[in-house]
Structure 1
């Protein structure tokens, strides 16, 4: 198969990159390991879009027009829910079921060729890739490659240098499950207090304290989010299968324990049950590419703009280096910072681009740019960049 653009990964960044490139006339194929697009927003059940809007203000104002705003509009139409202000930031509630449907529509409308249930298993300059699906290997030749895998898998396959902080500083993962059968309003403080009681009595593991709940907006449905330590096997490595396997098992075990306890001890939870598990735990940080430019947390905190910016970062540094909740650091005056085009181009490699949470940045900046609203924006930006080069066989 010959295409103009190969997009690796169909999360918010890969989806935006593929749709943008295809709308610009590029023959585009998107390879996604799951059976739906959306990544963290579908496979991991992350149910809030962060980074779509400017910080502060009396109303939600979109920071990055185009596809990010279009997707938000479609989501609002689907759920009937608009932006919500939480402290200083505006967020948009989203439902994973609607995310998958909207993604299907946009991919189909734009003419992207989608290969679900597939993994890129080798990548060579040129660009030649091998894609595996159920034991069958297919070859793809592309004029350009966009890595939106989240884990910089292209860097690993090509032997390129990548940046990753020590395991004890990596952002901790989350495990989100869908829960049905909850009656009445959610009482966050009461639930937190109940979990503390469960831990003190020895009925719940200490890791239960990292769990919180939020209504999905649908009757009787709740999302339960558990922040994990990542150290279930003794050390956190989000690219190690043993570690990832332990995360999944731990997430289900703790969630089941919490739900069993609440059924007995919390009013309105007597008939609650897990209705769906995520396809995978939500990994927030792993490898990052080394690009022509490295965006820094200091630049985001200063609200620095740049001449070659292709998107805006508008989320605070949301540092989750432990499973005891986030530490938020806001940019000066709530200002947006520019994401330079060089952070989306891989240093010394023509035709290889990157979008999403593995763009070229330091650990602190990644704590801001990894959210889905910003990933939509960097995906759109890199799709436009590739289209402007005219790379491909078309």
Structure 2
């Protein structure tokens, strides 16, 4: 069998929200763009971990301000055409502004958003190697069930969620915070059979879990979790099953996945017993994969700092906006929040997306160059649309001209409907 070889201008690794935005951004500039995703669908955590909420599209202030547009807005428009999205939802308890989703509609809307562009998609494809020469990635090695093949390109975007491409190419990366600690992973539960008039007041669930834990019931970690009714059904999304997990290590992932599924059944049985309206509830889905919030971070030409995020700092080379508060998850305890000044937004500079030491590699999504506090805000999927879009446009400009001018990148992002 002859070796398979492909050639593109821009290659994007990872088909989550950041990767989809990066690929469409690059293709809209006019570059031949390949989008590689290991799963059978796009979306990353939203579709593969059932995190059916987009955080970060809107700042938390009143009146609500949208801070992410561009490719992200294209997806919202497609969700609207499917009857899923009619506007943001503000939590009456936290004040957070989110977009509620349906898993199958989101998969289909992502497909349509990609297909409406000139992107070449490759699902079921894993990147396993990278060849570097003269301070840049020359080609990557990929694997599917037909074997290995190579892809050559002029520029690359790492939107893998785990900084896989950056690590394979020898870039500087950091695991977790400065001491190697990562935020907790959570296995999302989708619960069916819940009465339409069931009261989803968080205090009911907190009281039930606290009493069960006092009575010695095992396999319950978090007492305060998110409970939301999903659009288009009476199904409930519940986030309680936390795990301390190394998302890079198969042994750790195996232990966490099995433990979290055991937790999910324990929570379900408790809710059936004590929460009115849950008497006939059933577990319609977990995951499929545990939701990993944090593994590797790329070291870029600038490290976005917690002070930048919390002060709402504006940057001359800002190419994306972060409007989600700092949200830190530790196993088994409620999320810790810190709010952006005036509950507004901050700028994310292009330098934080540029991978240090490799001329033709940009990063996007939760792996961008930031300290632990800034990460706790910038990691969310709405913001990932914005950083991905910017990284894709920057990579396209490099592929076309062997240089990147931030003023031109900003202008192109605006032309494509992004907010900068």
Q: What range describes the TM-score normalised by the shorter chain of this pair? A: over 0.9
Q: Which residue of the partner structure matches residue 320 of structure 1?
A: 329
Q: Which residue of the partner structure matches residue 120 of structure 1?
A: 127
1:134 maps to 2:148: no
| TM superposition shift of 1:250 | 1.3
1:82 maps to 2:87: yes
CA contact (8 A) 1:8 1:120 kept: yes
CA contact (8 A) 2:171 2:358 kept: no
Q: Which residue of the partner structure matches residue 156 of structure 1?
A: 167
Cα RMSD of the aligned pairs, angstroms, is 2.0
| TM superposition shift of 1:166 | 5.4
CA contact (8 A) 2:361 2:395 kept: no
| TM superposition shift of 1:204 | 4.0
| TM superposition shift of 1:308 | 0.8
CA contact (8 A) 2:74 2:113 kept: no
* Unaligned segments of structure 2, at least 5 residues: 1-5, 403-420
Q: Which residue of the partner structure matches residue 37 of structure 1?
A: 42
Q: Which residue of the partner structure matches residue 14 of structure 1?
A: 19
Distance in 2, Cα, partners of 1:314 & 1:208: 26
Q: Which residue of the partner structure matches residue 103 of structure 2?
A: 96
TM-score normalised according to structure 2 size: 0.87
Distance in 2, Cα, partners of 1:156 & 1:81: 40
Distance 1:57 1:9, change over 3 A: same
Q: Which residue of the partner structure matches residue 56 of structure 1?
A: 61
CA contact (8 A) 2:301 2:356 kept: yes
C-alpha deviations, 1:4-26, integer Å up to 9, x for none?
11111000000111111112211
Q: Which residue of the partner structure matches residue 302 of structure 1?
A: 311
TM-score normalised according to structure 1 size: 0.93
* Unaligned segments of structure 1, at least 5 residues: 231-235
The more displaced of 152-161 and 27-36 is 152-161
Distance 1:314 1:212, change over 3 A: closer
Give runs of aligned pairs for residues 176-195 of structure 1, distance below 5 A.
176-183=188-195, 184-188=197-201, 189-195=203-209
The more displaced of 216-225 and 351-360 is 216-225
Give the total of aligned pairs: 387
CA contact (8 A) 2:57 2:98 kept: yes
Which residue of the other structure, out of 59, 70, 73, is the alignment partner of 2:74? 70
CA contact (8 A) 1:169 1:321 kept: no
1:173 maps to 2:185: yes
The more displaced of 338-347 and 177-186 is 177-186
CA contact (8 A) 1:55 1:315 kept: yes
The more displaced of 381-390 and 9-18 is 381-390
Give runs of aligned pairs for residues 227-266 of structure 1, distance below 5 A.
227-230=241-244, 236-266=245-275
